[in-house]
Amino acid sequence: MELFLQLFITGILVGSIYALVALGWTLIYKCSGVLNLAMGELTLIGAYVCITFYHWGIPFVLALIFTLVVGFALGILTEILFLRPMVGEPVLSVIMVTVGLSFFFKGIVELFFGTDTVVFTPTVFPIEPVYIGKVVVGQVYLWAFVASIILLLAFVSFFKYTKWGLSMQATADDEMAALSLGVNAKVVYALAWAIAFMAAGVGGTLLGNINGLNISVGYLGLLVLPAVVLGGMNSVPGAIVGGLVIGVLQNLADGYLSPFTPGGVKDVFPFAVMVIVLLFKPYGLWGWIRIERV
């Protein structure tokens, strides 16, 4: 039971970061119907921007705020330069543009930051563990969880209570109806990419504090995909719950199955869960079911 609780609690804490990145996936798909395959590289860019500010002597909280600002600007710029010219083109063509963006962004990161692992120096969070009963949890996991929850609440409140958040939901539900009511779809799409950049960047920053930062953090984008599919591609609450569930399942698989396998089961298990979910719930647990009548 102690092992189970250790794995479960750590999985929840890491899953909150997955939920933050999954939110970026969901926003872009919800607003434009495009599967953004460059999500992992967005986490890379944000994480390297934050660690650069931090190594310049800027306090971590301020560095994180500056990262959000830079992510917002980069998201809007990316949408204007690369995605807006694709409006009206087949969805598959737009998805292939995001594949090109993933390679482009990865090349930019390697060019400016290299491929060696870097760490936040000095350490941002205390290294002394916290004891929850007999469960030992690193403070970096706890603070990452707190930061993720705060940002998730901020994003959800933005969607629910602000004019542009409601406009994004309206555009996702029915683009033509939203346009007839005066919603500027171009601004909505730009905001979706801006928020995706912000969420992914913070997620990458928090993971960089846990394991160090290198080019492999970009793999997070694909690792979060099972969480998005599990919750439903167009469901914001589903993305949050899916991230938490995948974090827990990944940790449990690592704890219970890794001793019996050559390795890699921790990374493979979320995708196995995704395949099973797709077999029985093609639209995810909270996704919209499309009904087409001929």
Asked whether the CA dihedral 220, 223, 227, 232 is positive or negative, the reply is positive
pLDDT at 212: 83
Burial per residue of 255-269, b for 16 or more beta-carbon CB atoms within 10 angstroms, e otherwise: beeeeeeeeebbeeb
| Model pLDDT, residue 38 | 87
Give residue 291's pLDDT: 52
Average pLDDT per block of 10 residues along the chain, 294 residues long: 84 86 82 81 90 92 92 92 83 88 91 87 82 79 83 80 78 73 81 87 85 82 82 80 88 85 80 85 69 51
How much is the pLDDT for 181?
76
pLDDT of amino acid 23: 83
- pLDDT for the residue numbered 185: 78
**All structural domains of the chain with their residue ranges:** 11-215
Alpha-carbon dihedral sign for residues 17, 20, 23, 25: negative
Q: Give the tokens for residue 250.
A: 């990944």
Report which of 112, 116, 121, 144 is spatially closest to residue 45, judged by C-alpha positions.
Answer: 112
| Structure confidence at residue 235 (pLDDT) | 77
Q: Which of 115, 106, 86 is nearest to 38 (CA)?
A: 106
